[in-house]
Amino acid sequence: LGRLDSFLATRLAEIRLDHADRSLVVQDLSDRALVFAFGMDPKSDKDKRFAVALIFDAIETEPTVWDWARRNLSDISGVVVKRAPIKGMPRMDQKTWEKYHGKYSHVKDVTRITVECTTVAAVFEAVSAMLNDDEIDVLDLKNRLDSTKFNSEDFGGYLD
């Protein structure tokens, strides 16, 4: 566990250096999503239609995310990859207003997967696979194994 904790702390520091201010990491919308949600109107990330466009893009990218996870994580011993639902509008609204001052562009993880790991070694391998793959840009990493900073019971038992 100490090796994994050290690994996560080191990678977290590297990611934080690359993305010093996470609040600057915002969602871009595809051209198709913009047309779908906004038509010819100007867009605003405080407009509910921005959330609709995020869901549009999430639906289109979900097969790619699922395929990557299946190809790169399923063969790791102790790892089970499961489809997770696209983040719904009520949860997006809640996060937007509680954390992001009404800006939907700051909502993350709209397209999601669940990676269940039965061992610390499996967590290490799965995280390493994500961090070392050129197809993925890791923008944030939270060390949820640090019990001094995170209580999984506050989040329904999830360590995402």
The label of the residue with tokens 């080191």 reads: 10
* pLDDT at res. 17: 47
Q: Which residue has the higher pLDDT, 47 or 40?
A: 47
CA distances from 107 to 103, 132, 151 (A): 8, 24, 22
- Per residue in 51-75, pLDDT (tens digit) is 898 999 999 999 998 999 999 999 9
Domain ranges of the chain: 2-146
Q: How confident is the model at residue 82 (pLDDT cuts 50, 70, 90)?
A: very high
The label of the residue with tokens 């939907």 reads: 104
Q: Which residue has the higher pLDDT, 94 or 157?
A: 94
Check if the beta carbon of residue 143 is closer than 8 Å to that of residue 9: yes
* pLDDT at res. 6: 65
* pLDDT at res. 9: 60
Tell me, yes or no, if the pTM score tops 0.75. no
Once rounded to an integer, what is the mean pLDDT over residues 125-136? 88
Once rounded to an integer, what is the mean pLDDT over residues 86-103? 91
Check if the beta carbon of residue 55 is closer than 8 Å to that of residue 110: yes
Percentage of the chain lying above the pLDDT 70 cut: 69
* pLDDT at res. 25: 57
* pLDDT at res. 70: 93
